[in-house]
């Protein structure tokens, strides 16, 4: 028998009811340890995803329930499991939450819930294998919407939210895969993370470390288990945080529409729709938005490649060349990152010198 003494206890009970894996004592200990270490509950899905999908290749029922309705279940869990009592949702507000009310109830959607829904939908799309243009356009629209609804536009808000470990989910830039190419070294990219740490001597200076894990496979045929020579690439650079603005340039009528103007027009069409009109009452796209300007000085690159490929320099050069083709260039040369346009406890969006966007999700430091 379980007795709830406050909303956090109710959150634990709800989590056990929906996620049956938490009934396993060993998994529940990891669950509580994640929260007790000070990790924000909004990153709970990122932490639980490997555990939930480990024994459920066809799909986890609890994951599907919490992902429903723009990830409303994860939002309710995050509000219930907040560390500080003042940050937790009240009992009355929990009963009116979209996750418990369902689509037939008329619930006034808050701006925080709209931001959460946009981010959750974008994350769900990135979990698919994306090369088709409709998904890429849809993701670009969601990223533009999130940037306009950024809850922390001032740089001082970024000082506490930016540090941490962020996993790269998606880049709006060029995508190059292995489908039709026949490189001499096949490189299977693992996780691509961006670690941000603050320098103790300066309040506005951070160290950005791009960490790329990979497996290099020599030969023209893929092995069945996709195993090869493991390695990692680390690119480090100091950044200074400054206040800045992102300008939206108006297109010339005679020059014809560009891809940027088409995206902006689509975003304006979405915002003027019935669903968004109350939350974002605008008649036109703003000419500029406040951003966190990031100024870099120099980069330092370190690459480790295990034996036997690591014994020859020419092998390492071929592997490095293949990594540069597959990974977004901004993760290989982090000095090309120029500003941050969205940040919260869960998601991060950075813009690069060529205008492309990088979407990150916060990950557990120990994972």
Q: What 3 state SS string does 186-254 have? A: EEEEEEEEEEEEECCCCCCEEEEEEEEEEEEEECCCCCCCCCCEEEEEEEEEEEEEEEEEEECCCCCCC
Q: What digits encode the pLDDT tens for the residues 69-84?
A: 889 999 999 999 999 9
Beta bridge partners of 88: none
Percentage above 90 pLDDT, the chain: 46
Please give the Cα distance from 214 to 309 (Å, whole number). 13
Q: Are 161 and 152 in contact (CB under 8 A)?
A: yes
Please give the Cα distance from 75 to 102 (Å, whole number). 14
Q: What digits encode the pLDDT tens for the residues 338-367?
A: 999 999 999 999 999 999 999 999 998 655
Helix (H, G, I), strand (E, B) or coil at 333: coil
Q: What digits encode the pLDDT tens for the residues 275-294?
A: 555 555 555 556 678 899 99
């Amino acid at each position: 028998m379980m007795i709830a003494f406050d909303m956090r206890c109710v959150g634990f009970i709800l989590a056990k009811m929906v996620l049956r894996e938490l009934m396993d004592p060993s998994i529940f200990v990891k669950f509580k340890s994640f929260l007790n270490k000070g990790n924000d509950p909004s990153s709970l899905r990122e932490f639980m995803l490997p555990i939930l999908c480990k024994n459920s290749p066809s799909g986890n029922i609890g994951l599907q329930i919490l992902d429903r309705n723009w990830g409303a279940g994860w939002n309710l869990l995050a509000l219930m499991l907040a560390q500080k009592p003042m940050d937790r949702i009240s009992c009355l507000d929990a009963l009116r939450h979209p996750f418990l009310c369902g689509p037939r109830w008329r619930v006034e959607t808050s701006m925080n819930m709209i931001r959460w829904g946009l981010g959750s939908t974008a994350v769900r799309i990135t979990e698919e294998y994306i090369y088709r243009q409709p998904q890429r356009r849809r993701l670009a629209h969601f990223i533009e919407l999130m940037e306009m609804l950024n809850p922390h536009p001032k740089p001082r808000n970024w000082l506490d939210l930016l540090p941490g470990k962020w996993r790269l989910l998606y880049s709006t830039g060029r995508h190059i895969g292995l489908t039709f190419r026949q490189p001499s070294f096949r490189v299977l990219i693992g996780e691509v993370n961006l670690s941000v740490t603050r320098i103790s001597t300066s309040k506005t200076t951070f160290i950005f470390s791009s960490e790329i894990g990979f497996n290099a496979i020599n030969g023209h045929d893929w092995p069945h288990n996709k195993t090869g020579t493991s390695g990692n690439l680390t690119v480090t650079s100091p950044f200074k945080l400054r206040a800045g603005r992102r300008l939206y340039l108006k297109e010339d009528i005679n020059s014809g529409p560009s891809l940027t103007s088409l995206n902006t027009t689509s975003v304006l069409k979405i915002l003027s729709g019935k669903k968004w009109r109350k939350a974002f009452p605008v008649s036109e796209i703003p000419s500029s938005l406040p951003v966190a300007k990031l100024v870099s000085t120099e980069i330092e690159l370190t690459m480790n490649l295990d034996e036997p490929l690591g014994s020859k320099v020419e092998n390492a050069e071929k592997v490095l060349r293949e990594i540069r083709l597959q990974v977004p260039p901004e993760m290989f040369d982090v000095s090309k990152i120029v500003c941050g346009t969205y940040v919260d406890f869960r998601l991060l969006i950075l813009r690069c010198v060529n205008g492309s966007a990088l979407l990150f999700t916060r990950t557990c430091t120990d994972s």
